[in-house]
Amino acid sequence: MMSVEDKLESAETRPPHVLIFPAPGQGHVNTILSLAELLALSDFQVTFLITPHIHNRLRRFAGDIEARHPNLTFETFGHGVLQNPALFGHNLKELAEQTKSQGKLKLRELCSEHSGKPKVGCIIVDALLGQVDSELGDELGIPIIHFRTASACSFWAYFNVPKLLQCNELPIKGEEDMDREITRIPGMENLVRCRDLPALCRGERKGTLSLDTLVYLALHSQQAKAVLMNTFEDLEGPVLSQLRRHFPSLYTLGPLHVLLNSKKASKTAAAAASGREEEKDRTCMRWLDAQPPKSVIYVSFGSVAVYTRAQLMEIWHGLMNSKKPFLWVIRHDLVAEPDGDQGLPAELQEGANERACIVEWAPQQEVLEHAAVGGFMTHSGWNSTLESMVAGVPMICWPLFGDQPTNSRYVSEVWKIGLDMKDTCDRKIVEKMVNDLMVERRQEFEKSAEALAALARKSAGEGGPSYSNFHRFIEYLKSIC
């Protein structure tokens, strides 16, 4: 039997155990997994809680992460809608509710003395699931940290919705109100219009989380011990200074994929192993290799968004009419009609030619870093925005929901690294914007994009602000564990 002294010595030498719980969307998981790998590289014991579907997808596309990081383990949970990935983009409300209820049970199990795992010292939870910790933090006596995977500017917009309602800047009165400027968000005065606020400010869509819920979650993050964000000071400094008045323990760690690569580079074994992604489809990369430098427009609208056939055909014709080669990622479930009709229009299925490469999946970071890519047509999800930014690739933004309308406004009006095409889907506009980005204003956008890319890499590189913030966070995490 171990003595008290032996037990204390064992507890002191055992690495701290952190439990991480992301929302089960691919974008959320990708971001928070980068943090999990960073903590594993920093000698923490990390348990990552996800659905079986997401776990299987990670194994397929990201190689054997557990072999690379022996102290990072995956736990799975979920049944019902959580086992049906086809529903992920169609009923986010039910997905969130089941994730919270089923995830809470699994969290409680993993934190129990009989879990077979080392005692959990801290839980890092996706802020979109912030309601999960309302009971668990007090019940289990474990510190809770929130990870906000969206941009700081969208987070700040959600946080200010109650003020906008109080001063009658919300609700939006209709289409004729969309270009009215919002003046009561500190640090964003006269920058955003009604159409640039997070999409739910326009009204709720069936199957989505409510605006009330997302505003509650923004305010609720004040109860967390700390808030983590995938952004950097040179990018969103004015908004971050406003947020820190309400969230004093806010750590900016972004761009996380650059920070992770910096850390891996300092551990040669991990860097060498990280390239094992046997099942990636390399077709698009071989196609890119045959294209001239900066000639290709890369098109991808993320892992969740669903569009109509008519919208996709307008984009198709606009791209074709631009006379520029393009690489387009079209998921099998990207197109849906109200009557349930799914599937790609015949023109797209048959349309691959010398100027078009259509694939169902692509290694996005690698694509954006390719010399042939000169522009990115994106849905303005935060991961895609940061990845394009780091690669120095200008953007055409076509946002749909969540934080995307706010991100796209900042891309065009604050960072000056692209064009905002929100609320329009017309082949003539697509053609014009592609030519503006790739020809008429190419030098202007490339100059801005390259300058911002340098700042992003410097921030997450050794000695940069995000790099230093990560080390401060590590020390803080050790202290609370």
Q: Give buried/exposed letters for 278-290 (b at 16+ CB in 10 A, else e).
A: eebeeebbebbee
The encoded tokens of residue 364 equal: 């996005």
* Residues present in the chain in total: 481
* Cα separations in angstroms, 187 against 160, 166, 322, 466: 11, 18, 38, 22
Burial grade of 184 (CB within 10 A; 0-12, 13-18, 19 or more)? middle
The SS3 call for residue 380 is: coil
* Cα separations in angstroms, 195 against 31, 288, 416, 424, 469: 27, 35, 18, 12, 34
User: In the sheet where 418-420 sits, what is the strand order?
Assistant: 356-359, 326-329, 296-300, 373-378, 395-397, 418-420
Question: In the chain, helix, strand, coil percent, each to 5?
Answer: 50, 15, 35
The encoded tokens of residue 136 equal: 């668990």
Give me the catalytic one of 17, 28, 257, 379. Answer: 28
CA atoms in the 13 A half-sphere facing the CB of 45 = 13
Residue 55 annotated to the active site:
no
Give me the catalytic one of 17, 69, 126, 257. Answer: 126
Residue 28 annotated to the active site:
yes
Catalytic residue annotation:
28, 126
